Structure formats: structure tokens, C-alpha cells
Structure 1
Amino acid sequence: MSPQNEPRLTKAQRQAAARERARVQREQQRRRERRTRVLTIWGIVAAVAVIAVVIGLVVANGIRGQVADSGPRPANANAFGGVTLTKPNQLATSPAAGDVNVADTQSPTASASASGSVLPLPHGVGKAPAGQPAQIIVFVDLACPVCKNFEATYANQLDSWMKEGKATVEYRVIGLLDGTASTTNYSSRGANAAYCVANTAPTKFQRFLTSAYEQQPQEGGRGLSDDKLNEIATSAGAPDLSSCINNGTYRPFVKYVTDQSRLDGVSGTPTVFVDGQRWSNSGDFTAFAQKIITARK
């Protein structure tokens, strides 16, 4: 049928058709507007996420970048960053001995490697001389939950060996978890606070570590503030250390000890040695260490 022969629409039909076309056009417009809003919102969300990542990287890099490569060595820490307990709450004391520099870190040498071991033996780790207590060395990170568990499980046993004169316990506090455990490099800031305590109030060092672990922040958050670290130190019996902690006095030292630890094959914490023998972090540490201590002459 040709258009000329098609029946003519009534006025009411033409008005209804016009209304339907208008409705369809309005619906199509609404759909376009909805798509535009969704795309705009997702665009804003993506942009905010990118900005947040950039800001986070800038802040994290800024915090690390503010740490000098050289700085003072605290009193009562040995050449390798170790703070040694000879008895519970009693450190092997030594004066502050100049500065450290990250450029002076060294790769393990043949004389600093365990004979036949797969991993290198860190500098300053080995069997104690005959007639001396066994040397227990623990690499720790205050942001490390496994370190917290190690201390909670074995602290009393470590104290017993020290009281009996069978072992000394050396802690090397490092910032291995910066950038992963917190957004404010809590690992290094916590280590700095620990060395502030060792330098000024050596008899309170062990209590500080215990309290810091008890109040360990959740992984991935901001970590404890410097003010909170000072509060933990003073609660442990140290004097006000806010200047040392807030100024990051021993952050370069922490940087040095952490970098040297990495070069020495320490890739996680706790890493524990008893007279130069590395614990596998599995099984009972007491049984592992007792066998070595008993075999000493």
C-alpha cells in the first residue's frame, strides 16, 4: 500500500505518537546523562586514587630521603649495631664511638661466613670464646609480629640463661619493614627510639623493647607516633627522650645497621643465631639453643 493509500491518523493518534517520541527521546537523554555521571564519578575516583598513591610515595620517599647517610653511633651499641644484655636489664656498656656512614657497609667475606653454610654469617656473629657465655644474637624489627611472638614465647628462657651466666643476648634493632608495615616508616623510627633508650638509659632498654612489642601497632597503618614512643620509654623508666626520638638522632645509625644486615643475608626478622648457628625459625628455639649451650666447653 502506498503512503497515499495509508489511512490518515486522527488528531488524537498524532498527539499520542508525538508524546511517545518525546518520551523515548527523554529516556535516551536520561540514559546518556546517567552514563556521563558514572564516567565522571569513576574518573574522579581514579584520579583521587592516583593522587593518593603519588602523595604516599612522596611522603614515604621524603621520610627516607630526610635520613642522612651518616650520623652518630649511640653509646652501649657495638660496631655492628648490637646492644648486648649480659644479665636481665643490664647492658654491656661502651661509650659512643664516632659516626657511622652507610658507605662503609661491607659485604660478607670468607672470614665472616659460616663454614659450609648456605647463607653468609653476619659480621660480628660467631662462637663465643671458651669459658665465656654463649652468644645469642637476635635481629629484630619493632613492627614485626613474629618478633613480638618470639619475645613473648622465649623472653623468660633468655632471662634464665643470662641469670645463670650461660648466654648473653644481643639485639640488633633494624628497620627492615619500612614502607610495608606502616605508612610512616615506623620500623626505623621505633629502632631509633630503642637506640635512644640504650644510649641514655641502658638499664631500661629491655623494658622498652617489651613494652613496645606489647603495644605493637597493626600492620599497614601509621604505626606509633614519636610522642607515643617517648611515652613508652618514659613508662619504662627512661628520662624524657623526646628530643632524641623526634629529631631522629639515630636514624642514620639505623639506616647503616639495616643496610649492613641486608648485605649480611638478613632478609627477615627475627633472625637468630646461637654461637654462630642460625635458627631455622621453626621448631622449639629453647631446644635448639640449649643443645648448643650444653655442648660448650
Structure 2
Amino acid sequence: MSPQNEPRQTKAQRQSAARERARVIREQQRKRERRNRMFTIWGIVAAVAVIAVVIGFIVANGIRGQVADSGPRPANTNAWGGVTLTKPNELAASPASGEVNVKDTQSPTASASVSGAAQPVPHGVEKAAAGKPAQIVIAVDLACPVCKNFEATYADQLDTWMKDGKATVEYRLTGLLDGSASTTNYSSRGANAAYCVANSAPTKLQAFLTSAYEQQPEEGGEGLSNDKLKEIASGAGASDVGGCIDDGTYRPFVKYVTDQGRADGVTGTPTVFVDGQRWSNSGDFTEFAQKIIDVRK
């Protein structure tokens, strides 16, 4: 049928058709507006996500820093990064001496037997000379729950041996758990804080370590902030180490101690030696150490 022969629409039909066209146009407009709103929202979400990533990167790098391979050695530490307690709250004193560099780490030179298996003996770990207290060396990580339990269980016994002149206790603070125990490299930051205390307020180191373990964060989180570490140090009586903690002054030293420990077979914490004999981390440590101490001359 030709257009000329089509029946002419009534006024009501024309109005209805116009309303339908208007409805379709309005619906299309609403769909465009919804689509544009979604694009805008997703654009904002994407922008926020990018900003969050950038901020996270900046914050993380501000905390972690690009840790140098070389840096200063704190006072009251030995050649292998140990701080040695000769009596409770008394560190073997030594001046800060030069710098360390991770390229100077050395391979172990001896082996010890633990449960029949040969294990490296770290540098500086040996049987004490006759007439001297036994040498107890403990590699620790402030983010390590087992280290926390070791200290909670045996701290009083360690103090007793030191008071009685039976043993000295050397701590080597590592960053072995960086990247696994926290998202902000708390292990090495905590070790740095401990070395800051050892350098400036050596008689407060034990109190700092005790408090840091008591407030140990859960694994996998952010770890304690530098502000919290400063608070713990201040509470322990070391109130002048804030700049050292914020600056990460001894982070290169921690890196060196950690790498040297790995080279020496210290791949977990606590790793404990008594007069050069390695504890297997099973059984009672007091019983293990007491037998070695008792046969000394």
C-alpha cells in the first residue's frame, strides 16, 4: 500500500506515537547518563587506586629505603655484629669503629654437629678460653615469634648465668624476616633500633629488647612503626635515639650482619650456640647449656 493510501492517524494516535518517541528518547538519554556516571566512577576508582599504589610505594620506600651496602658500625659491637652482655644490663664496651660492607662477608671455616648433621659455625663463635665464662651466642630477629618465646622462657636463666659469672650472652640482631613477617621490613628496622640503643645507651639494651618482644606485632602486618620503636626505646631509658631510628643509621650494618649470618648458616632464628655447640632448637635449652657449662674448667 502506498503512503498516500495509508489511513490517516487520528490525533490521539499521533499524540501516543509522539509520547512513545519521547519515552524512547528519554530512556536512551538515561542509559547514556548511567553509562557516563559509571565511566566517571570507575575513572575515579582507578585514579584512587593509582594514587594509593604511589603513596604506598613512597611510604614503603621511605621506611625501607634503598639500604646501602656499606655503613657505620655502632659502638659496643664486635666484628661480627654481636652485642655481648657480660652481666645483666652491662655490654662489653667498644668504640664505634669504621664501616662494614656486605661484600666483605666471609664463608664459614668450621662445622659443628647437630643431631648428626654438619652445620656451619659462625665467625666469632667458639669455646671460651679456660677460666672464662662460657660463650652463648644468639642470632635473633625482633619479628620472630620463636625468639620472643625463647626470651620469655630463658631470660631469667641467662641473667642467672651472667650474674654467677658462668656465661656471657651475645645477641646478633638480624633482618632475616624482612619481606615475610611484615610489609615494612620491620625486622631490619627493629634491629636498627636495637643497635641505635646499643650505640648510645648500652645499659638499656636488655630493657629495649624485652619491651620490643612484649609488643611484637603479628606476622604479615605492617610491623611496629618507627614512632613506636622510638617510644619503646624512650620507655627503656634511651631517649636520644630518635634520629638514629628515623634515619636508619645502622640499616647497612643490619644488612651486613644478616648476610654474614646467612653465609655462616644462620637461616632461621633463634640460632643459639653455647661454647661453639649449636642447640638444635628442640628440648630444654637450660639443660643443653648447663651440661656444657658444668664441664668447663
Q: Would you call these one fold, judging by a TM-score over 0.5?
A: yes
1:161 aligns with 161
* RMSD value, Cα: 3.5
Instruction: Mark the CA change 1:293 to 1:53 in structure 2 (over 3 Å): closer, same or farther.
Output: farther
Q: Is 2:142–2:190's contact at 8 Å kept on the other side of the alignment? A: yes
Deviation string, structure 1 residues 204-247 (Cα, Å, up to 9, x no partner): 01111001111111113343334x11111111111321111100
2:249 aligns with 249
For the residues of structure 2 that align with 1:54 and 1:267, how far apart are their CA atoms?
33
Sequence identity, in percent? 79
**Deviation of the 1:61 alpha carbon:** 6.8
Q: Is 2:112–2:278's contact at 8 Å kept on the other side of the alignment? A: no
Calculate the TM-score normalised by the size of structure 2: 0.80
2:112 aligns with 114
1:139 aligns with 139
Instruction: Mark the CA change 1:54 to 1:234 in structure 2 (over 3 Å): closer, same or farther.
Output: closer
**Deviation of the 1:158 alpha carbon:** 0.2
Instruction: Mark the CA change 1:166 to 1:55 in structure 2 (over 3 Å): closer, same or farther.
Output: same
User: Counterpart of 1:114 in 2: which secondary structure?
Assistant: strand
For the residues of structure 1 that align with 2:68 and 2:201, how far apart are their CA atoms?
25
Q: Is 1:190–1:229's contact at 8 Å kept on the other side of the alignment? A: yes
Gaps of 5+ in 2: 1-40
Q: Is 1:147–1:269's contact at 8 Å kept on the other side of the alignment? A: yes
2:196 aligns with 196
Gaps of 5+ in 1: 1-40
2:266 aligns with 266
Instruction: Mark the CA change 1:97 to 1:281 in structure 2 (over 3 Å): closer, same or farther.
Output: same
For the residues of structure 1 that align with 2:193 and 2:278, how far apart are their CA atoms?
27
Q: Is 2:226–2:246's contact at 8 Å kept on the other side of the alignment? A: no
Q: Is 2:83–2:92's contact at 8 Å kept on the other side of the alignment? A: yes
User: Counterpart of 1:119 in 2: which secondary structure?
Assistant: strand
Q: Is 2:135–2:275's contact at 8 Å kept on the other side of the alignment? A: yes
Calculate the TM-score normalised by the size of structure 1: 0.80
Quick check: 167-176 or 114-123, which moved more? 114-123
**Deviation of the 1:156 alpha carbon:** 0.3
**Deviation of the 1:296 alpha carbon:** 1.0
2:84 aligns with 84
For the residues of structure 1 that align with 2:179 and 2:57, how far apart are their CA atoms?
9
For the residues of structure 1 that align with 2:54 and 2:265, how far apart are their CA atoms?
31
For the residues of structure 2 that align with 1:130 and 1:113, how far apart are their CA atoms?
21
1:223 aligns with 224
Q: Is 2:200–2:240's contact at 8 Å kept on the other side of the alignment? A: no
